[in-house]
Chains A and B, each alone.
Chain A
Amino acid sequence: MQILEFEKSVAELEAKIDELRHISDGSRGVNIADEISRLQDKVDKQLRHIYGRLTPSQKVQVARHPERPHCLDYIKVLVEDFTPLAGDRCFAEDQAIIGGLGRLSGRACVIIGQERGNDTESRIKHNFGMAKPEGYRKAQRLMHLADRFGLPIVTFVDTAGAFPGVDAEARGQAEAIARSIETCLSVSVPFVTCIIGEGGSGGAIAMAAGDRVLMLEHAIYSVISPEGCASILWRNASHAADAAAALRLTAQDLLQLGIIDQIISEPLGGAHRKPADVITHVGEALTQALGELLSIDSKSLLAQRHEKYLNMGKTGLN
């Protein structure tokens, strides 16, 4: 596991535990088991201490942790009969955005999400989760499909942002994002979003303008990356930590601002330490949110969604 710089003390203890476990394989020493449990307590205590007071900049690192579960990890566990659907019918298939039909807790849905990949090969295949216009146009197509068949929409947001490139601009990156947001706001089916890692700017909101926005405890959601913000406002990217704090990109601040609706807690030490646990929690939260939305008729649903976004920004931070 990749160790973040502020978890080094924990990593040392964990290495010690591993070592002891290795030794205890050969012997039957009771003392070793005691020692392991003592160390494990210490690890938990330290994790509780560190993760209970993560700074915004540390949260950015946790949110981007390479071993954090990604979109496909959630789909694999939570979605039955997942049937991926490809292509924007105009230009290409963009694997930065995964989408398809499937069942969540038994209910047929359309599932769409950004996938970052988890090794070099898959990262390249998914373009590190940075979609081009064709990705957003595929997402729009699938949202319209959901609307046509009355299927709820679930999206997983995890992207550094929309891909900044010549080809993306040539094919209308801005238009693709604008239309995606427009589509999110126009479909008359329940729409739940979960920000599982990094919610990067326009590339994120293009798939996140739904009825309920859930967010993992240590995920981030921001108008610009802290590095980008620092290089513009501080004229120096090394001020990224200051920018991360100023931008208020944590789930806790965003809940207070009314931008997200619910925080899903992560296992001790972050989602990357116990992926299975966090995936289960997310599944439960999504199912509950969908259940609540399914009882609302489609006309009121749409009206409420519009009100939600029109009314945003009425409260600031204390």
Chain B
Amino acid sequence: MNWLTNFVRPKFRALVGPKKEIPDNLWEKCPGCSAMLFKRELEENLNVCRHCGFHLKMDAKKRLEVLYDDGRYQLIEIPKVLTDPLKFRDQKRYADRLKDAQHKTGQQDAIIVAEGQMGGIKTVIAVFDFSFMGGSMGMAVGEGIVVAAKRAIAIHAPLVVFPASGGARMQEGALSLMQMPRTIIAATEVKQAGLPYIVVLTDPTTGGVTASFAMVGDIHIAEKGAQIGFAGARVIESTIRETLPPGFQRSEYLLEHGMVDIVVERKDLQTTLIRILRLLGKGSINKKAPLLTGPVPHGARGLRRI
């Protein structure tokens, strides 16, 4: 600060009058092709760039709105967990960081859980909110997954999870590490109840989130172009001291390496999920259904005689 900023500039401002308020959120630059995108149009297009198809991050509630029939769903309350169990402090207190994030996003923590009808199928969906401390997984997020699993089992509905996370929340130390086994138990219980457990990996899904409930789904869907991996690209580069291959840790790379079932564009996500859920049915119900109805084909009869 000097006399220019402190004294001269305010005086000038007073002379020319206050700066006109231009909403700074009217336009957004596409990280893929650098085109300037009109925000309202972008939102209408599910936050996908209409020039290059780049999938920008999407608001958690908006996701629920476009997935559920008629945009109707009920939020499921996530029981409160201990706040700042370690009394963690870096350059700032974790308790304050949490408050800031809550204030900024209007959310309790980095996950929301809901139930509703998707294509007429009662479905529980858990969505990460990346804007809440990078979607990091601490006890509250772990609790969200546990609650989502419990609810899915209680109402006999499939569970679909949309992770978007930088990994474990460091500020909760080993307690956040323990969310890895904790969320895996939750996922296991859903599967053991004979219900589909589907993971939709969105940008970005890394660290302890990828290495836990996000990689044990019945089906793994990756949203187009999402970064998905365990170690961060910078960590890898500094370890091996070489540049990373193009497309490394992107959805298409994971598909090629056998880690996900399908890569889907955002606009096709809902129809894909509905189709899969209809095909999977509800495990236990499918088992009761006869495999073949009608007369056994000739070939099969012949085989049986042998």
Q: Which residues of A contact B (CB under 8 A)?
A: 162, 164-166, 168-175, 177-179, 181-182, 184-186, 201-202, 204-206, 209, 221-224, 228-229, 232-234, 239, 242-243, 246-249, 254, 257, 259, 306, 309-310, 312-317
**Which residues of chain A are near B175, meaning CB under 8 Å?**
257, 259, 312-313
A174-B215, A175-B215 given; A222·B90 CB < 8 A: no
Task: State whether A169 touches B185 (Cβ < 8 A).
Answer: no
Task: State whether A317 touches B85 (Cβ < 8 A).
Answer: yes
What would be 28 A-B contacts, judged by CB atoms less than 8 Å apart?
Answer: A162-B231, A164-B232, A165-B236, A169-B230, A169-B231, A173-B211, A174-B228, A174-B259, A178-B210, A181-B211, A181-B212, A185-B181, A204-B177, A205-B180, A229-B170, A233-B171, A239-B90, A246-B90, A249-B174, A257-B175, A259-B178, A306-B185, A310-B182, A310-B186, A313-B81, A313-B142, A314-B82, A316-B86
Which of these, B81, B170, B229, contacts A232 with CB under 8 Å? B170
Q: How many residues of B contact A (CB 8 A)?
A: 57
Task: State whether B240 touches A165 (Cβ < 8 A).
Answer: yes
A128 to chain B, nearest CB (A): 11
Top 8 A-B residue pairs of the complex, sorted by shortest distance between their CB atoms: A316-B85, A164-B231, A174-B210, A178-B215, A233-B90, A177-B211, A174-B230, A173-B230
CA distance A28 to B212 in the complex (A): 65
Most chain-B CB neighbours within 10 Å: which of A179, A204, A310, A315? Answer: A310
CA distance A223 to B138 in the complex (A): 11
Which of these, B208, B214, B242, B259, contacts A201 with CB under 8 Å? B208
**Which residues of chain A are near B88, meaning CB under 8 Å?**
246-247
CA distance A234 to B92 in the complex (A): 9
Dominant SS among interface residues on chain A: helix
CA distance A57 to B230 in the complex (A): 26
Instruction: Kindly report which residue of chain A lies nearest to residue B245, judged by CB atoms.
Output: A166
**Which residues of chain B are near A178, meaning CB under 8 Å?**
180, 184, 210-216
A205-B177, A209-B181, A247-B173 given; A316·B90 CB < 8 A: no
Task: State whether B180 touches A170 (Cβ < 8 A).
Answer: no
A-B contact count (CB 8 A): 177
**Which residues of chain A are near B230, meaning CB under 8 Å?**
162, 164, 168-169, 173-174, 177, 202
**Which residues of chain B are near A259, meaning CB under 8 Å?**
174-175, 178
**Which residues of chain A are near B211, meaning CB under 8 Å?**
162, 173-175, 177-178, 181, 202, 206
Task: State whether A309 touches B182 (Cβ < 8 A).
Answer: yes
CA distance A243 to B174 in the complex (A): 13
Instruction: Kindly report which residue of chain A lies nearest to residue B85, judged by CB atoms.
Output: A316
CA distance A317 to B83 in the complex (A): 11
**Which residues of chain A are near B142, meaning CB under 8 Å?**
313
Task: State whether B215 touches A179 (Cβ < 8 A).
Answer: yes
At the interface, yes or no: B207 with Cβ under 8 Å from chain A? yes
Instruction: Kindly report which residue of chain A lies nearest to residue B236, judged by CB atoms.
Output: A164
A169-B248, A172-B258 given; A254·B231 CB < 8 A: no
**Which residues of chain B are near A165, meaning CB under 8 Å?**
231, 236, 239-240
CA distance A259 to B174 in the complex (A): 8
Instruction: Kindly report which residue of chain B lies nearest to residue A169, judged by CB atoms.
Output: B229
Task: State whether B184 touches A222 (Cβ < 8 A).
Answer: no
Which of these, A172, A228, A233, A248, contacts B174 with CB under 8 Å? A248
Task: State whether B85 touches A166 (Cβ < 8 A).
Answer: no
At the interface, yes or no: B257 with Cβ under 8 Å from chain A? yes
8 Å CB interface, B198-248 against A: 207-208, 210-216, 228-232, 235-236, 239-240, 242, 244-245, 248
CA distance A309 to B177 in the complex (A): 11
